[in-house]
Structure 1
C-alpha cells in the first residue's frame, strides 16, 4: 500500500465521539471549549468501540475491566484498573469489553493553540 493511500485511509476514520458500537454511541461529550474536549466513554460487557482514531490525549480510567484492543501492533487483552491514567500521542484502534463488568474512561483532548 502506498504511503499516500495509507494516509487517506487513516484520515477517513472517525474520532472517538463519532465512532460508536454497532451504530450506537459509546462516548458522550462532557465539555468542549477553545482549549479542551472531554469525553466519557462507557462499555458494558460485550460492547466495544468500532475502529476509530484518537488525537493526542490524556486518559483516566473511571471503572476498570478487561478489554481487547486491536491496533497496528495486533490484538491483545488487557486488564485495566480504576484510577490508572495514560498519555497518548494519538492512535487508531478497535476496543471490545471482553470482561463481565462495565468499563468507563475519561478522554481529555487538548486543542492546539492558534499560532
Structure 2
C-alpha cells in the first residue's frame, strides 16, 4: 500500500514538472515566431491577444486559469489530454478554465483567427 502511494506521489510530481517545463502562451509560438502579444499586465490580470493565420498554430504550452474570447474564429486541430480533434471555433465564442491546462493547436481553416486570453494572477 505504501509503495502504491509513493508511486502515485512520484507520478504527480513528474506530471507537474513536465507541465511546468512547457512554455506559457506568450512564450510559445509557431516555428520560432510569436503568435501572442501582451495587451495588459498588472498585479491581477494578464491579457494576451493571439493571432493565427491559416496554417499557423501554437506549439504545446500551458495556460494558468483563464477566460478567453474569440474575436475572429476559424477551424482548428486541437491536441490536449482528450486526444486530437478538429473544431470550428466561432466568432464571439468564450471559454473558461479554472485550473492549469495544456494543449497545442493548428489553424486548419481558411481565415485568420484572433483570441483574447485573460489570465488571472
| TM-score when normalising by structure 2 | 0.88
Q: Which residue of 2 aligns with 1:43?
A: 52
Answer 1 or 2: which has greater helix percent.
2
- Give a deviation string over 1:26-55, Cα, whole Å, max 9, x none: 000000011110000000000000000000
Q: In structure 1, what is the Cα distance between the partners aligned to 2:47 and 2:68?
A: 10
Matched, 1:110 2:120: yes
Q: In structure 2, what is the Cα distance between the partners aligned to 1:81 and 1:3?
A: 35
Q: In structure 2, what is the Cα distance between the partners aligned to 1:50 and 1:66?
A: 16
- Give a deviation string over 1:37-88, Cα, whole Å, max 9, x none: 0000000000000000000000000000101100011001110111111111
Q: In structure 1, what is the Cα distance between the partners aligned to 2:120 and 2:47?
A: 9
Q: Which residue of 1 aligns with 2:3?
A: none
The structure having more radius of gyration, on CA atoms, is: 2
SS of residue matched to 1:3: helix
Residue 27 of structure 1 is aligned with which of 16, 19, 36? 36
Unaligned runs of 5+ in 1: none
| TM-score when normalising by structure 1 | 0.92
Unaligned runs of 5+ in 2: 1-9
Q: Give the total of aligned pairs.
A: 111
Tell me by how many angstroms 1:5 deviates: 2.0
